[in-house]
Homo-oligomer: A and B are copies of this chain.
Amino acid sequence: MTDTQFAPAPSSLAYVPFLSVENMMKMVHAIGVETFLTELAGYIEDDFKRWPEFDKTPRVASHSREGVIELMPTADSDNYGFKYVNGHPKNTNEGYQTVTAFGVLSSVANGYPILLTEMTVLTALRTAATSALVAKYLAPEGSQTMAMIGNGAQCEFQAMAFRALLGIETLRLYDIDASATEKAVRNLTAQGFKVTACKSAEEAVEGAEIITTCTADKQYATILTDNMVGPGVHINAIGGDCPGKTELHKDILLRSSIFVEYPEQTRIEGEIQQLDEDYPVTELWQVMLGQAQGRTDAQQITLFDSVGFAIEDFSALRYVHAKATDGGFAEKLDLLADPDDPRDLFGMLQRANA
């Protein structure tokens, strides 16, 4: 108390770069949505190709009657990242988001966070980038048309990613809620897509080489039936992503070659929770490394049973960290106590009262 007459300002070590929702959106537009998605897909592909380097754990979930709150951590030798994400299906009725998220990237060397960022928008972007990246490996060559069943918050991001990475321009949309389809048609038409609003899932899949299913409600368990899926199609199944929640009829799975992110997690949360525990699936990182085969013939039905994995968030955190630092989009958050003498935390507290 006697040697310092004033409370010194925190040193730079005390501040954590913070990317707010507003600044995330500004940054996405400064980069351009499709460029962002393409570059992000590159980061995800890089990380999938070094899959064995990661410290992988299943997400840590806290379930309640209303929903779930999850922590999704992962790390390589340089960085540690985690995402906080909730899933509360009834939230929209009360004006809240079903899913919100934020995340942190840290230095493994000293444990200090180097980025805190919103991840609601970022998760939508990384989910879409992952889907399109996977489709680059699995969708039939020359695909032009994508059916999108479920036109909620993820729909337009998927469309943007598939155009950016695969050149898909033609979309056939269906949702049980016609107003969701109207919203998506409006947004996607403004982005220059050729969009058809359909009256049924059957109508939507007509002529589509790629079928994206992205529904949120637990009660609609079979949005694609076996007869709707023709040979050669790639199915991008986004919405089956927690225990007790699936979108596809089991018969479709049995006709498909199934590709997954992390089998330990997908067998609990994905479409394949309908199948035996040892049903053969292919890990995507092995396809990307050329260690396993992707699509092998034009008649094959390929299925990406997407549930979202921590490494995709890690890639997104890495990408955003690089871009936010370069672009000056990050604010400084006074999140970490940083006494001049690390042993003198109490002295720092007392000087703050001086």
Contacts and interface: CB of A to CB of B under 8 A. Distances in A.
A98 B347 contact: no
A25 interface: yes
Interface in A44-83: 55, 57, 60, 62, 64, 66-69, 71, 73, 75, 77, 80, 82
Contacts of A190: 1, 350
A124 B344 CA distance: 11
Stoichiometry (number of copies): 2
Interface string A75-118: 10100101010111001101111101010101011111100001
A111 B86 contact: yes
B95 A342 contact: yes
A230 interface: no
Interface stretch (A140-148, A292-300, A332-340): A332-340
Given A343-B92, A343-B183, A28 B335 contact: no
A64 B75 contact: yes
Interface in A317-354: 333-339, 341-350, 352-353
Given A91-B110, A108-B64, A345 B10 contact: no
B84 A157 contact: no
A156 interface: yes
A120 interface: yes
A337 B62 CA distance: 22
A339 B120 CA distance: 11
6 contacts: A21-B337, A25-B353, A29-B353, A64-B108, A94-B110, A120-B336
Given A14-B21, A29-B352, A71-B73, 7 more contacts: A22-B334, A29-B349, A66-B109, A67-B111, A94-B110, A95-B342, A100-B112
